[in-house]
C-alpha cells in the first residue's frame, strides 16, 4: 500500500517535472527558422529633411528549399525593401509594419553606405554594428557611388541565387584582379581606431544606362593600358548585372573624402602589400602599337624602410612582383634572358611611376596616408603617449616616399618564343 502511494507520488513528480520542462522549452529564447526573416544586405542612405533611409534585402527561404514541390522554386529568392525614419535604428521597427517576420541580422553579408551619408561620417553605423550581437564584424563594408538604395534595389545577381553568395564570390575576384579592396567592418574599424592613416573602403555602384559625360571623357583620355581610370558606376559596358565593384572610397577619419579608380586601387593594394594577384597590361616598349599582358602576383610582403635624414623623414618601399606572360602581341622575343630583364625594368619603371602619381595625388588632394605607413612608423616610437599624440598626416605630407618595384617574370607560359608568320609582302 505504502509502496503504491509512493509510486503514484513519483509518477506525479515526474509528470510535473516534464510539464515544467515542456513549458520552459520555447520561451527561453529559442527562435524557429520560420519566425525569422534573414537580412542579407543593408544599405544606409541620407534622405531629405534629416531623415535616414535604410534598405534591406531579405532572403526568401522558400526559394532555397529543394523539395516540397509547388510554389517554392519559382518565387524570387530575395526581396529588397526600404524605409525612411529619423533614425536608422528606428527603421528596424518600421519594417515590421509590413513584414511578417522578425528581422535577423546574423547572416547579413554586406553593409552598403551611400556616398552622401559617407561624406557625413560613418562611425556611428559601424560602432552600432560592432556592439550588436547579431551583426557580424566580418561582414563586408562598401561605399556606394550614388545611393545605397539604388544599388540594393538594382543589384540582380545573374549566376547566384542570393546577394550573399554573390558578394562572397565577387570578393574572391578582388584577389584575382585587385581593382577594389575587400573591407570588412572590423578592418575598417581597425584602421579607423588603431591607426592614424586614412581608412579606405571598397567602392560599388550601379551602372548608368545613359552615357555619362565623365565616362566619355575618360574613354577619350585613356591611352595607357596600364591605367584603368574607371570607378564603380562608370565602367563602359553593356549587359550583365547592374551592380559594379571597382574603385576605392578614401576616408579621412570617418568621413569620405575621395575616390580612387581601378588602377589606383591596385597600386594602393600593391603598396599596402595586400594585392594578391593582377593582370597587368602595358605598351610594348619596342612597339608602340602592341601590348603586353603579364599576370603578376605579389611575391612577398613589401619591404619598408623608414629613414630619418637631414632633410626630413624618408620612406623607401620595395615591392616585389612575379608572374608569367599572358600575351606578347608583337611577337618580340621577350622570353630571352636579356630582353626579359629589359622588359621587367621597363615595367617596373611604369609601376613606380604610377605609384608616385598616386602618392602625389593623395598629398595634393589632402587624403592623408592611405597606405598605412604609420604602422611601420610605430617602431620609431617609444611610448604609447607619443603614438597617441602623433600628427601623422602632417608628417606624411612632408615625407618623401620612394617606391622601388622589382619585377620578375618567371615563366613564359606555354611558348618558348614567338616565331614570325611567313608574310608575303616581306619578301
Partner 1 sequence: MVMTMNWWKELKQTFTYKPNSDREGFVLEETPEERAMVKKDRPVETDQAGDANAAEEEAAKPQPKMRSRLKRPEKITGRERSEQKQTKTEEEKKEPVSAKEDQKFSQKQKNSTTDLRKPLKMYQVQEDQDPEQVSPYLEVNQKRIEEIYDIPNNKDFIIREFTIAVVPPVKAFAVFMEGMSDKTSINTYVLQPLMLFSNFQPTVDGYLIDHIEKRVLIGNQVNVHDEFEQIVAGVNFGSTAVFVEGCDQALLVETKGWEHRGIFYPVNEQVIRGPQEAFSETLRANTGLIRKQIRSAKLTTEMVKVGETTHRDVAIMYLRDVVNPKLLKEVKRRIESLQVDGIVDSGILEQYIEERPWNIAPQVMATERPDRVAFHILRGKIAILLDGSPYALVVPTTMFDQLHTMDDYFLRPLYGTFLRLIRTVAFYISFLTPGIYLAIVLFHKEMVPTELLLAIAGAREKVPFPSLVEVIIMEVSFELIREAGLRVPGAVGNTIGIVGALILGQAAVQANIVSPILIIIVAVTGLSSFAVPYYSLQFSLRIIRFAYIFLGAALGFVGIIFGLFVQMHMLSSLKSFGVPYLAPMSPTTDSTGDVLLRKPVFSWEKRPDFLNTQQERFQPNIARGWVKESSKRKRKS
Partner 2 sequence: MIREGKFGFAEGVSLLLISNLATIYLVEPSVAIELGKNMAWLMALFTMAVMLLQYWIIVSLMKRHQGTTIIEASEQLVGPYLGILCNLLFALYFIIEEAILIRRYGEALLTAALPTTPISVIMVTLTLAAIISCYYGLETIARVSRISITFILGGILILFVAVLNYVDVTNFYPLWSMNPLKIITEGQYKLLILSEGLLAAVIFHSFGNWQNCRSVGLVAISASGIIRTILILLLILGLGVELASEKVLPFFNLSRLVSFGRFFQRAESVFLLTWAMVGFLKLSITLYASTVILARTFRLQDYRPLLWAVSLLCFSVSIIPPDVETIGTLNLNYFTVWGLIPTIVLPFLLLVVSLVRKRERKQEDTSEAGNH
Residue 10 partner contact from partner 1, partner 2, none using kind-dependent CB cut-offs of 5 to 8 Å: partner 1
How many angstroms separate the CA atoms of 344 and 417, rounded?
17
Does 109 engage in binding with partner 1 (CB under 8 A)?
A: yes
Binders of partner 2 in range 8-47 (CB under 8 A): 24, 28-29, 31
Among 101, 125, 124, 123, which residue's Cα sits nearest to residue 111? Answer: 125
CA dist list (Å): 112 to 55, 167, 253 = 9, 11, 18
Does 389 engage in binding with partner 2 (CB under 8 A)?
A: no
**Nearest approach, Cβ of residue 130 and partner 1 (Å):** 15
Does 305 engage in binding with partner 2 (CB under 8 A)?
A: no
Does 34 engage in binding with partner 1 (CB under 8 A)?
A: yes
With beta carbons less than 8 A apart as the criterion, state whether 281 and 225 touch. Answer: yes
With beta carbons less than 8 A apart as the criterion, state whether 92 and 103 touch. Answer: yes
**Nearest approach, Cβ of residue 99 and partner 1 (Å):** 16
Q: Give the range of 50-58, 186-194, 235-243, 347-355 binding partner 2 by CB under 8 A.
A: 186-194
User: Dihedrals φ, ψ of 187, to 5°?
Assistant: -60, -45
Binders of partner 1 in range 59-88 (CB under 8 A): 59, 61-68, 72
Does 176 engage in binding with partner 2 (CB under 8 A)?
A: no
* DSSP letters spanning 346-404: HHHHHHHHHHHHHHHHHHHTT---SS-THHHHGGG--SHHHHHT--HHHHHHH-EEEEE
Structure letter (DSSP) for residue 268: H
Instruction: Let me know the angle formed at the C-alpha of 263 by 323 and 232, rounded to the nearest 5 degrees.
Output: 130
Does 168 engage in binding with partner 2 (CB under 8 A)?
A: yes
Residue 38 partner contact from partner 2, partner 1, none using kind-dependent CB cut-offs of 5 to 8 Å: partner 1
| Grid coordinates belonging to 45 | 542612405
Binders of partner 1 in range 122-151 (CB under 8 A): 134, 136
Out of 138, 289, 389, 391, point to the residue binding partner 2 (CB under 8 A): 138
* DSSP letters spanning 293-309: EEEEEE-SPPEEEEEEE
**Nearest approach, Cβ of residue 11 and partner 1 (Å):** 12
Which residues bind to partner 1, rule: CB under 8 A?
9-10, 13, 21, 24-26, 28-34, 36, 38, 40, 59, 61-68, 72, 104, 106-107, 109, 134, 136, 161-162, 164-165
Amino acid at each position: 500500500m505504502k509502496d503504491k502511494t509512493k509510486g503514484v507520488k513519483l509518477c506525479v513528480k515526474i509528470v510535473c517535472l516534464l510539464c515544467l520542462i515542456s513549458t520552459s522549452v520555447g520561451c527561453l529564447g529559442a527562435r524557429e527558422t520560420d519566425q525569422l526573416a534573414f537580412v542579407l544586405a543593408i544599405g544606409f542612405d541620407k534622405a531629405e529633411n534629416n531623415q535616414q533611409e535604410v534598405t534591406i534585402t531579405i532572403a526568401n527561404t522558400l526559394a532555397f528549399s529543394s523539395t516540397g514541390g509547388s510554389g517554392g522554386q519559382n518565387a524570387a529568392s530575395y526581396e529588397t525593401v526600404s524605409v525612411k525614419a529619423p533614425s536608422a535604428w528606428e527603421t528596424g521597427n518600421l519594417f515590421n509594419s509590413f513584414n511578417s517576420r522578425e528581422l535577423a541580422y546574423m547572416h547579413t553579408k554586406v553593409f552598403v553606405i551611400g556616398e552622401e551619408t559617407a561624406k557625413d561620417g560613418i562611425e556611428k553605423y559601424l560602432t552600432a554594428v560592432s556592439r550588436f550581437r547579431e551583426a557580424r564584424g566580418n561582414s563586408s563594408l562598401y561605399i556606394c557611388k550614388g545611393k545605397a538604395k539604388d544599388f540594393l534595389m538594382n543589384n540582380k545577381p545573374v549566376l547566384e541565387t542570393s546577394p550573399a553568395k554573390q558578394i562572397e564570390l565577387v570578393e574572391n575576384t578582388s584577389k584575382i584582379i585587385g581593382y577594389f579592396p575587400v573591407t570588412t567592418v572590423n578592418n575598417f574599424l581597425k584602421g579607423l581606431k588603431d591607426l592614424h592613416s586614412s581608412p579606405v573602403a571598397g567602392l560599388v555602384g550601379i551602372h548608368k544606362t545613359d552615357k555619362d559625360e565623365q565616362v566619355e571623357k575618360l574613354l577619350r583620355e585613356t591611352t595607357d593600358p596600364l591605367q584603368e581610370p574607371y570607378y564603380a558606376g562608370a565602367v563602359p559596358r553593356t549587359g550583365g548585372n547592374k551592380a559594379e565593384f571597382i574603385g576605392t572610397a578614401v576616408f579621412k577619419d570617418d568621413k569620405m573624402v575621395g575616390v580612387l579608380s581601378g588602377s589606383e586601387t591596385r597600386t594602393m593594394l600593391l603598396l599596402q602589400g595586400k594585392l594578391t594577384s593582377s593582370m597587368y597590361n602595358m605598351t610594348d616598349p619596342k612597339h608602340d602599337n602592341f601590348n603586353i599582358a603579364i599576370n603578376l602576383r605579389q611575391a612577398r610582403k613589401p619591404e619598408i624602410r623608414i629613414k630619418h635624414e637631414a632633410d626630413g623623414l624618408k620612406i623607401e618601399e620595395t615591392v616585389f612582383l612575379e608572374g608569367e606572360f599572358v600575351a606578347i602581341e608583337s611577337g618580340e622575343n621577350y622570353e630571352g634572358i636579356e630582353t626579359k630583364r629589359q622588359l621587367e625594368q621597363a615595367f617596373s619603371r611604369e609601376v613606380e611611376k604610377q605609384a608616385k602619381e598616386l602618392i602625389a595625388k593623395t598629398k595634393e588632394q589632402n587624403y592623408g596616408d592611405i597606405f598605412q605607413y604609420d604602422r611601420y612608423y610605430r617602431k620609431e616610437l617609444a611610448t604609447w603617449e607619443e603614438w597617441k599624440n602623433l600628427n601623422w598626416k602632417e608628417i606624411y605630407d612632408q615625407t618623401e616616399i620612394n617606391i622601388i618595384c622589382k619585377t620578375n617574370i618567371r615563366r613564359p607560359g606555354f611558348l618558348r618564343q614567338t616565331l614570325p608568320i611567313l608574310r608575303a609582302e616581306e619578301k
